[in-house]
Each structure stands twice: as C-alpha cells, then as structure tokens.
Structure 1
Amino acid sequence: MIVFPNAKINLGLFITEKRPDGFHNLESVFLPVNWFDVLEIIPSKKFSLNVSGRVINCKTEDNLIFKAWNLLQSDFGIQAVETHLIKNIPMGAGLGGGSSDAAFMLKALNTLFELNLNDTQLEKYATMLGSDCPFFIRNKAALAYDKGNKLKELDLNIQNEYTLVIIWPEIFVSTKEAYSQIIPKKAPANWTKGLQNIVKWKEFLNNDFESTVFSSHSEIKDLKEQMYQSGAIYASMSGSGSSVFGIFDKNRQIDKNTFKNVHSENINISKLNYGRIEL
C-alpha cells in the first residue's frame, strides 16, 4: 500500500494561554497543502523503516511512523510491516510533515489490516503521537485550538483561485526557541469569519511566533518580505517556522526562479486548496 502524506500551513497563529502542564493553548487554522511525502507499507516478519530523500537524523524507535505502528500493534496485534518513506516535506519547517507521516501510517494500517476504526477513534490514537497529528486524519481545513489537537472543521468558501508558494530556507527553529519570548494574549474575537476574503487577511491575521523567530533569524523575515515584493496578496511564516508561504493571484507569473538564493527543492508551488485533499 502506498499513501501520500501531505503538509499543512497555518492561517494565523495566536498563542492564547500558558497551561499548568507547561504547554500553551493556541488558535490557528490548519490548511492541507499539496506538498507530499510518499509512504509505502508492506506486511513483513519484522518492522523496518527505510528513508530516502531528505535525511532524518532519528532512530527508528523514535520515529513517529514506528510509534504509530507500535500503538496499533499493542492494541490489535497487527503484523509487522516494512516501510519505505520518500521524504520530500522539510523537517523543522512548521509544515507538519512528521505528524502527517504518522497520521497517514495510522490510516493505512487501519485499511491494510481491516481494523475498521472510524475517524474519531483514529484521532484518539493520533493525539497520543503529537498535537498536530489528529488534523491529518480528516485532512480538512479546520480551526485548531487547545494545544492544537482539538479541531473544528471550517468551510473556506473562497471564490477565486490563487497560487500558493511555500519556501523552506534551510533553517531549523526549535519549538522551545519559538516559545521563549511569547506573551500569551487572547485571539481576536470571531477572527475566522474574515477568512473568506483573502485580500483582507493582512489586516488581522498574525503569527505570534514571527516576532521571536524574526529577531533571531533575519533571513526568514527577509523571505516574507520577498514574498510581498514578488506580489503576494498575503504572506506568513507557517507554524513556529521556518518555512514561509505566500498567496498570489492565479494570473501572477511565479516560478522557482522568482526567489533568489533558494534551492529549487525547497520551493513548492501549487494551487491553494480550501477543503480536503483526496488522492
């Protein structure tokens, strides 16, 4: 079985509260996007994970793909699998690539071994793997809140077509670093209602991590400015960084040569999605 885990971007990211357990509550809209890993799962006598593409500096037992299999193996006694991952989505980029791999692993194993788990049940397992993982079970535009693991689906009924450009500047931003200077505050009331009009996003959408990350990594700030200089209607850092995305009118001539000093494999250009990605 072969599946194609996709990335996500954050439309707005508001850190609203520090929790007693040391984590933070937030509000953000997660949007699935067309940047894919490739994951093949084959029944086997022993679990194995083979990775090509981008290098993952992680032991197999620490990888979320293994942890996803281990969860279901513990509860349902499923067979071991041989897995092959072609890693295209950058890591430490705020795009949820690792979380997506884990969620798609859960979904694939559910189908492969006929476990008949519904989406709600799969989301419970995904929550055990990471805050971003549950989103990729239904893989549809949603307001994420609490730690990012609670979701409310949204209908982004945007009429026009736009081009989405995502760039990873080959900078790793640690989550601890991103949170280090954040002062939590309430998100604007009913802010998601304004998402139907992309032209106005610049007026109210904000990523609270940008001020901290930009102060330490001016290259990321420069990349966002380059998006606007190239004609973006809206641009932002995704998640806690370091990737930056820009949304352009579909008639705007944009290609990988538009952006200077960026390797082509770190640029993704696609149509902006508003709903669920189906393959």
Structure 2
Amino acid sequence: MLHFPHAKINLGLHVLRKREDGFHDIESVFYPVALRDSLEALPSNETKVILHQSDEEIPLQKNLVYKAWKLMHDKYNLPAQEFHLVKRIPSQAGLGGASSDAVSALKICKEVARLDISDMDMFALAAEIGSDCPFFLNSSAQIVTGRGDVTGDIDFSLAGLYIQIVKKKTLHDGSTGIPTPEAYAQIVPDENRPSVLQLISQPLGEWKNILHNDFQPYAAKKYPEIGEIIQKMYDSGAHYAAMTGSGSACFGLYIQKPENHFPGNEYFVYEGFIES
C-alpha cells in the first residue's frame, strides 16, 4: 500500500486570539503543493517506521505515522504494519510534512483493514493527531481557522504560476528550524483586520503589501537569512514571496521560472509550475 503525502504553503497567516485552552485561533489559506514524501505500509509482526533519505532520529512513540497507526489500532484493532517513509518534504519548515505523512498513514490503515469510516470520523481522527492534520484529508485549497483544525473548501487556484520553495538547511545558530511554541510566544494576536479570503481576492501584485504571515517578522529578525531568501525571490521577479507556517521555509510565486540560484549544499529547493 503506497501513498504520496503532499506539502502545503500558507497564503497569509493571521493569529487572531489566544484561547482559554492555551491554543491560538488562526486564519490562513492552506494551499497544496506537489512536493511529496512517499509512504508504504507492509504487513509485519511488529509496527515500525523506517525513514529513508532522512538524518532525523525520531523515537517511534513520537513519530506521527506511528501515532496514526496506534490510534487506528486502539480503535479498530488494526494489525501491525511496517511503514517505509521516504522524506522529501523538509522538517521544521512550515510545509506540514509530518502532518501529511500522518494523514496518509490513517488512509493506508483504513484501506488495509477495509474499514467503513465516515469522512466525519476520519476528520476527527486526523484532528486528534494534530491541529493541521484535517487539511491533508483533501488536496484542494482551504480556508483554515480555529487552532488549524477547522477547514472549509474555497474556489481558488494558483494554477499556471511557478512556485519556488527554499529552506536554509542549517540556520546561523546551528538549528534547522523554528520551534512552533517559540514562534507563538512572540506573537501579539490581532483580530481587527481584513480576512485572508478578502486579501487573496486582490491582484497577485498587491499581495506583497497586504498579505502577511504573522510569524515572519520575528523569524526574519532572529534569522536574517529568512529575509534574505525572500528578498532574493523578489529581486528575481517574484510577484509574491513569504515564509510559510511558522517557518523556516519560504516560497515565491512567479509568472515564469526565475533566474536565481540557491546552492544545493546550503539550501533545500523545490520548484516547478503549479498544475492545479
């Protein structure tokens, strides 16, 4: 059983308010991109997650693919599986790779056991794993609110644009990304502003001045290389460039392929025309 979990980018990310449960209410448009991992499940006597093309060492109990299997196992007595996960989506990037992997694991488990689970129940299972997991049950643009677990389909497309996603492999302090709790701690919530849906309805050329990621100012201040990536994208003709999620990957949207270069030994780079 083989699935190809996809990444996402955030078009705008507004932190609206802090909730009584300690989480934050957000508003963002999540947009799927064709950057994908691959996840295969094989019958086994013992459940394990084997990582390929990754130097990460994640304890089994903390791996979201394992958590997805454990959730299905506990609820539906699912048999053991050996998961092989080929990582192409970088971690600690704001691209949703781990969440997407987990949702693919849920889908695989459902198919392996031939379970009759409703869309609503799959949504609840995904939300139990992580706030942004429900988005990955579908492959379309969605408005995301709540703590990231309330989604709604929207009629919106970036098809035909060229996207470039860039992440510095190691930041100047030796870290590989920005911890989400640290990023949230720097935010001053603001709910008195136009909605992200209103903003993305404006021409692409205006987004630079109106469509913002609330995490970006802090991230770019602490890690100037993030701001430098975004500026390089604009200098290369991007109509819009921003950090995605809480970082540290950035993306640029172009009319045509840019003539810039990010050395592969220092940067992760994904690029191509958006097909849908």
Residues 172-206 of structure 1 show CA distances to partners (whole Å, capped at 9, x for unaligned) of 11112212221000163343134243222223210
Letter in 1 for 2:17: E
Give the 3-state SS of the residue equivalent to 1:168 in structure 2. strand
Runs of 4+ deviating beyond 6 Å: none
Residues 220-257 of structure 1 show CA distances to partners (whole Å, capped at 9, x for unaligned) of 111110110111000000000000000000xx3336xx
Structure 2 gaps of 5+ residues are: 170-175
Q: Percent of aligned pairs with the same residue?
A: 35
Q: Which moved more, 1:58-67 or 1:195-204?
A: 195-204
Contact 1:27 1:187 in 2 (8 A): no
Distance 1:175 1:85, change over 3 A: same
Contact 1:226 1:259 in 2 (8 A): no
Letter in 2 for 1:254: P
Distance 1:42 1:151, change over 3 A: same
CA distance in 1, matches of 2:25, 2:271: 31
Give the 3-state SS of the residue equivalent to 1:66 in structure 2. helix
Residue correspondence of structure 1 range 259-274 to structure 2 within 5 A: 259-263=261-265, 266-274=268-276
Letter in 2 for 1:234: Y
CA distance in 1, matches of 2:188, 2:246: 15
Match of residue 258 from structure 2 = 254
Count residues in correspondence: 269
Residues 125-169 of structure 1 show CA distances to partners (whole Å, capped at 9, x for unaligned) of 0111100111101232101111011011111045x6110100111
Instruction: Provide TM-score, normalisation by structure 1.
Output: 0.91
Distance 1:157 1:238, change over 3 A: closer
Structure 1 gaps of 5+ residues are: 275-279
Match of residue 182 from structure 1 = 187
CA distance in 2, matches of 1:107, 1:270: 27
Letter in 2 for 1:47: T
Letter in 1 for 2:130: G
Match of residue 245 from structure 1 = 251
Match of residue 166 from structure 2 = 167
Instruction: Provide TM-score, normalisation by structure 2.
Output: 0.92
Q: Which moved more, 1:23-32 or 1:160-169?
A: 160-169
Give the 3-state SS of the residue equivalent to 2:108 in structure 1. helix
Q: Which moved more, 1:171-180 or 1:210-219?
A: 171-180
Match of residue 103 from structure 1 = 103
Match of residue 94 from structure 1 = 94
Match of residue 277 from structure 1 = none
Distance 1:24 1:72, change over 3 A: same
CA distance in 1, matches of 2:262, 2:157: 33
Give the 3-state SS of the residue equivalent to 2:133 in structure 1. coil
The alpha-carbon deviation at position 270 of structure 1 amounts to 2.0
Letter in 1 for 2:244: S
Match of residue 229 from structure 2 = 223
Distance 1:271 1:119, change over 3 A: farther
